């Protein structure tokens, strides 16, 4: 198992959002503040690791014909745990993320890793895969949050560095459009384009070497 390769896959070449184009609805909906991005990223990472581990442990027991239903049951159990913990200890985050926490159950990132990796590999390798994919997902969310919050609200770290964060731009400069759906599409499109360009540069460099 190559940790460096898995980390590179998670962040760059096979990133769940910018590479596989999965989980786009929640990505564009909640990336308006850094608090939301970190909270959603960590939640998905925890669920990815836990569900990958359990599914890997049960991969030889679960009948092939009902494997998808079984995976969803496992994922739903961990999503429920995370949802209840957020409601108990981070109610502000739970309220901000709203329905997108329960919807992690049907998030293609979680189910996709269960089907393509955890069901075919050992427990430790599956746990590492969940961690790396979660890190890649979180990195994309954090980048989008920083860009959209800065350009749309003029602040940085709202909810993390105080309730309103640190004001970077004067209130007259931010473009409110960036915290609306259009801003999510624009930021995500630019990020995907940059990631694909960077991956191609890496591939060309490796080919020439």
Helix/strand/coil (H/E/C) assignment for every residue in 87-118: HHHCHHHHHHHHHHCHHHHHCHHHHHHHHHHH
The reply to whether 85 falls in a domain is yes
The residue-averaged pLDDT of 72-101 equals: 94
Helix (H, G, I), strand (E, B) or coil at 180: coil
The reply to whether 40 falls in a domain is yes
How confident is the model at residue 181, as a pLDDT? 87
Q: pLDDT (tens digit, 9 = 90+) per residue, 31-68?
A: 999 999 999 999 999 999 999 999 999 999 999 899 99
The reply to whether 207 falls in a domain is no
How confident is the model at residue 4, as a pLDDT? 78
Inter-residue contact 145 to 37 (CB < 8 Å): yes
Chain mean pLDDT for the chain: 90
The range of the structural domain enclosing residue 57 comes to 3-11+23-202
Q: What is the number of domains present in the chain? A: 1
User: CB 161: neighbour CB atoms within 10 A?
Assistant: 13
The reply to whether 209 falls in a domain is no
The reply to whether 151 falls in a domain is yes
- C-alpha distances out from residue 62 to 42, 52, 113, Å: 28, 14, 16
The reply to whether 100 falls in a domain is yes
Asked if pLDDT for residue 145 goes beyond 70, the answer is yes
The residue-averaged pLDDT of 21-29 equals: 88
Q: Which residue is associated with the tokens 């940059």?
A: 194
**Model's pTM, two decimal places?**
0.92
């Amino acid at each position: 198992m190559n940790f460096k390769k898995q980390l590179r896959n998670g962040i760059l070449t096979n990133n769940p959002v910018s590479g596989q184009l999965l989980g786009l609805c929640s990505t564009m909906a909640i990336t308006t503040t850094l608090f939301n991005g970190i909270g959603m990223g960590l939640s998905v990472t925890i669920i990815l690791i836990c569900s990958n581990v359990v599914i890997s442990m049960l991969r030889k027991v679960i009948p092939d014909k009902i494997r998808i239903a079984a995976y969803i049951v496992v994922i739903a159990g961990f999503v429920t745990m995370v949802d209840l913990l957020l409601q108990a200890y981070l109610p502000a985050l739970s309220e901000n993320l709203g329905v997108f926490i329960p919807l992690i159950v049907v998030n293609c990132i979680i189910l996709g890793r269960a089907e393509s990796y955890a069901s075919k590999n050992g427990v430790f390798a599956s746990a590492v895969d969940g961690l790396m994919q979660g890190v890649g997902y979180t990195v994309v969310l954090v980048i989008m949050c920083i860009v959209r919050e800065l350009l749309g609200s003029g602040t940085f770290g709202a909810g993390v560095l105080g309730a309103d964060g640190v004001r970077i731009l004067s209130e007259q400069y931010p473009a409110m459009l960036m915290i609306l759906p259009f801003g999510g599409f624009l930021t995500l499109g630019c990020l995907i384009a940059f990631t694909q360009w960077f991956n191609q540069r890496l591939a060309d460099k490796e080919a020439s070497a």
